[in-house]
């Protein structure tokens, strides 16, 4: 329900030319490295233009630009999302990831979740004293989380310069994760405590519609699974400029996924607590659309403007208006391990719903 986020080379012109002879790529004046890999060495002609993969590296981030072989795609200035090369993975990195995950969960349990040792219950109890309304308390928990989460995200550039990427990620996660857990637990425990506005749970087809909607929402909600090693700071965290996969449909998949999730749960639960929760979460993610674009524009400049010009916030809008040209094999961008992982986790989350509800209930938050 609650979620988290290479290149820096400015590109002065990225209009797709009608003739390959007119193709112009403006690269950084002083790139750290510039590599050209010819893919085709056939004689030059307008129908047989040599293909190149161009990699320009500046500072600690990379810009990838490539011309599609079928001649129908656009030059990519962002990253290929969900790309996962098993051959490049290090066993040691995933051992570190598992160890860090275990430590984080242990600390979270002791310092926040366990009522005998943690501060989670005291925090929720304090917020609950501010109002007798579950709707108001739910909104306040979301606002507190959103302020910390988006506030730290806005300070990311300055924070990383001051203390480094990994240290900033630890602070970001260390503050955001407990607040997210509190918000989720409170919602689970009080989701049926509001004023009932409608009741459609017995209506034929509604359960199936809600289930499918939730399943789809998770494909939008969790782009962070593209870089789990960065999430845990095993790899140095980076702010990515994605351009393929789900981003072709919408530039802000987390917002779209959250809207789908909220609508599905609100329809199913049908009370004032669900409505308040949806208002808070959707409002937070709409702010994230503006704030995310602002941060990406600040980090990537003209490169982001290129990606922005051929993507859209509203799903499929860029595709329908012709600004986004889909490759013939677009579906292959989804047949990748991160998306398969999301599928498995989504199915698993559905089947462990009773366990999640029971665990939340026993906390008495």
Res 296: pLDDT: 95
Q: Cβ distance 63 to 303 under 8 Å? A: yes
Cα separations in angstroms, 176 against 43, 108, 120, 182:
56, 11, 13, 10
Res 225: pLDDT: 59
* In the chain, % of residues over pLDDT 70: 79
Q: What are phi and psi of 48, to 5 degrees?
A: -135, 70
Which residue shows structure tokens 């056939």?
42
Residue 346, both tokens: 């989504």
Res 73: pLDDT: 54
Residue bearing the bigger pLDDT, 245 or 87: 245
Beta bridge partners of 33: 57
Res 297: pLDDT: 96
Residues 182-215 have pLDDT tens digits of 999 999 999 999 999 999 999 999 999 999 999 9
Average pLDDT estimate for 228-254: 90
Q: What are phi and psi of 66, to 5 degrees?
A: -145, 145
Residue 174 in this model has a pLDDT that exceeds 80: yes
pLDDT band for position 179 (cuts 50, 70, 90): very high
Distance CA 240, CA 229 (A): 14
Q: Among residues 93, 275, 279, which one has the least CA distance to residue 192?
A: 275
Distance CA 25, CA 11 (A): 7
Non-local (6+) Cβ contacts of 263 within 8 A are: 213, 278
Non-local (6+) Cβ contacts of 247 within 8 A are: 78, 81, 253, 311
Tally: H helices and E strands in the chain? 13, 3
Residue 139, both tokens: 């909104």
Residues 121-160 have pLDDT tens digits of 999 999 999 999 999 999 999 999 999 999 999 999 999 9
Residue 337 in this model has a pLDDT that exceeds 80: yes
Residue 13 in this model has a pLDDT that exceeds 80: no
Residues 282-301 have pLDDT tens digits of 999 999 999 999 999 999 99
Distance CA 64, CA 9 (A): 9
């Amino acid at each position: 329900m609650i979620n988290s986020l290479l290149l820096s080379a400015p590109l002065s012109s990225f209009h797709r030319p009608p003739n390959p002879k007119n193709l112009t790529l403006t690269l950084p004046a002083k790139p750290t490295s510039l590599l050209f890999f010819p893919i085709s060495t056939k004689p030059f002609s307008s129908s047989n233009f040599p293909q190149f993969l161009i990699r320009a590296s500046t500072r600690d981030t990379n810009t990838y630009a490539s011309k599609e072989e079928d001649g129908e795609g656009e030059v990519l200035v962002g990253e290929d999302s969900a790309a996962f090369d098993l051959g490049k993975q290090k066993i040691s990195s995933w051992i570190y990831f598992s160890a860090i995950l275990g430590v984080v969960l242990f600390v979270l349990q002791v310092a926040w979740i366990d009522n005998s040792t943690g501060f989670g219950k005291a925090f929720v109890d304090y917020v609950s004293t501010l109002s007798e309304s579950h709707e108001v308390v739910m909104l306040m928990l979301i606002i507190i989380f959103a302020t910390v989460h988006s506030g730290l995200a806005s300070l990311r550039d300055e924070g990383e310069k001051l203390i480094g990427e990994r240290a900033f990620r630890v602070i970001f996660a260390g503050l955001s994760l407990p607040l997210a857990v509190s918000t989720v637990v409170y919602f689970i425990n009080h989701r049926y405590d509001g004023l009932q506005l409608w009741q459609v749970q017995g209506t034929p087809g509604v359960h199936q519609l809600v289930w499918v909607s939730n399943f789809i929402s998770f494909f939008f909600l969790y782009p962070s699974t593209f870089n789990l090693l960065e999430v845990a700071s095993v790899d140095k965290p980076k702010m990515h400029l994605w351009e393929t996969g789900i981003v072709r449909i919408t530039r802000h998949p987390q917002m779209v996924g959250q809207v789908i999730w909220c609508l599905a749960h609100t329809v199913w639960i049908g009370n004032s607590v669900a409505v308040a929760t949806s208002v808070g979460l959707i409002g937070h993610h709409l702010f994230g659309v503006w704030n995310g674009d602002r941060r990406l524009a600040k980090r990537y400049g003209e490169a982001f403007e290129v990606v922005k010009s051929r993507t859209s916030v509203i799903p499929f809008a860029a595709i329908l208006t012709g600004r986004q040209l889909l490759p013939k094999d677009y579906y292959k961008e989804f047949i990748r391990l991160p998306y398969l992982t999301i599928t498995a986790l989504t199915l698993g989350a559905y089947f462990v719903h009773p366990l999640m509800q029971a665990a939340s209930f026993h906390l008495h938050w």
